[in-house]
Amino acid sequence: MQHAVNPWVAFAYLVAGVCFILALRGLSSPTTSQRGNRFGMIGMAIAVVTTLVTHVPTITVLVEGADYAALLSAIDTVAVFEIVAAIALGAAIGLTTARRIAMTAMPQLVAAFHSLVGLAAVLVAAAAYLNPVAFGIALPLLTPDGAVALINPVSRVEMGLGVAIGAITFSGSVIAFLKLNGNMGGKPILLPARHVINLGVLAASVALVGYFTLDQSPWVFWTITILSFAIGFLLIVPIGGADMPVVVSMLNSYSGWAAAAMGFTLHNSAMIITGALVGSSGAILSYIMCRAMNRSFISVIAGGFGAEASAGGAGGTKTDRPWKRGSAEDAAFLMSQAEQVIIVPGYGMAVAQAQHVLREMGDKLKAQGVRVKYAIHPVAGRMPGHMNVLLAEANVPYDEVFELEDINSEFAQTDVAFVIGANDVTNPAAKTDKTSPIYGMPVLDVEKAKTVLFVKRSMGGLGYAGVDNDVFYRDNTMMLLADAKKMVEDIVKALD
């Protein structure tokens, strides 16, 4: 294969890569996130247009069986209509989904998108394996009947890694979607000897990828694909609901590496750059979140992290203990008399879409001289940054939003901790109960506040991890049982 390098194409892909880097930099802060999104869209537009206006160069091959080597040229034509139709169909689906999707369903939407990236990598690898000449990865040697003799060994490594990572991403993301969407339970599904099984399947896949460089037989390629699909399933099934935000981040990293591997196969530098950026940033985010949750990064890769204990142990059983119930009027009076109120949002706030009225409540409290802050746990919600996105959507000032490590020490000097739909991330069992599936995860110390107002739909729920919360039954806790949005609306009326 001979590739004519167009410097303008390389330059365009370089500009797109710079835009992607600026996009990631912008997305690192809420104040610059919109600008980061714009850079990302510009970079993707440049990459897509550049790819569409260029074509695959001439393919040159040598034919065996002739007295003299002969050059054969074949120009690959681009099916413009099919490409445009596919882009239009994808754009229509994307626009419709973006307009209709609720913020509460954003985590499972992200998981679904990750699965599509993984499946795309598998399909590209399969197409390249079945027709290597079209992808320019065949050695310049054909048999007399025209059948491909060999695929470039380097391309086989890229293809093997791409199909393996893509298959893991696809099946793992499908399981994550089912868990996040409620089609599967949030409790860990612990298979017997799962670590031995995972290690054995992973070792077999790695060995086959290595063997694939020596033997490109169909059984080798398809066995790698099937085993990789199985690994994705085995890695995500044992992971409980409390750890799902880390799973989403990890799968995001996998999807990036799958795209990068396919970029080598397609000889597309934009895919390589983008995939490497997504893969590395996702891995860094997973590492940061693991540190925040006191989890081992290696155990994340192995699967089933944080799931050694049974979810049905002491931390997983609902207890029948006395608790105090309050009203919106009680909550309004306590918060209006406070010097500082720390609001702790969780997935229950997202489900009720209560972020806008919650900001209104905060504004009214500030108007009465109360200092208001928002405490965000790194795994609150169902994906990294879920609560930050919701609060930003409601125009909550960025300087009032604090991460766990920055605000946890303030609860002891706070008059009221207002918890709205956050269960697992405020559960003291993570610090005291070694049988709890969330043991070892840093939590927000809301129980140290003078008064805890806990908004919850009912006392029957145990949170996504299936763990009862000791805070419900403490003397300084008042339970506000109602739909989160309705309760906050009633509090706002009482503050008036």
Domain boundaries, the chain: 101-308, 321-495
| Active site members | 424
Q: CA 377 to CA 426: how far, in whole Å?
A: 9
Answer for the pair 407, 378: CB distance below 8 angstroms, yes or no: no
Q: CA 438 to CA 465: how far, in whole Å?
A: 8
- Which fold, 321-495? Rossmann fold (3.40.50)
Identify residue 29 by its one-letter amino acid code.
S
- pLDDT, block means (10 residues), the chain with 496 residues: 64 89 82 86 90 57 41 46 83 85 76 89 90 77 53 87 92 87 71 78 89 89 93 82 74 88 83 88 81 66 50 49 90 94 90 90 94 89 78 87 90 94 86 78 91 88 72 92 92 92
Parallel/antiparallel/unpaired status of strands 59-62 and 71-74: antiparallel
**Predicted model pTM:** 0.73
Which tokens go with 128?
Answer: 């390249």
Instruction: Please report the pLDDT score of residue 295 as a whole number.
Output: 67
Q: Around Cβ 424, how many Cβ atoms within 10 Å?
A: 29
Q: Around Cβ 447, how many Cβ atoms within 10 Å?
A: 19
Q: CA 223 to CA 94: how far, in whole Å?
A: 33
Please name which of 248, 246, 250 lies closest in space to residue 293, comparing C-alpha atoms: 246
Instruction: Please report the pLDDT score of residue 449 as a whole number.
Output: 94
Instruction: Please report the pLDDT score of residue 62 as a whole number.
Output: 42
Instruction: Please report the pLDDT score of residue 140 as a whole number.
Output: 65
Q: CA 21 to CA 18: how far, in whole Å?
A: 5
Instruction: Please report the pLDDT score of residue 362 as a whole number.
Output: 94
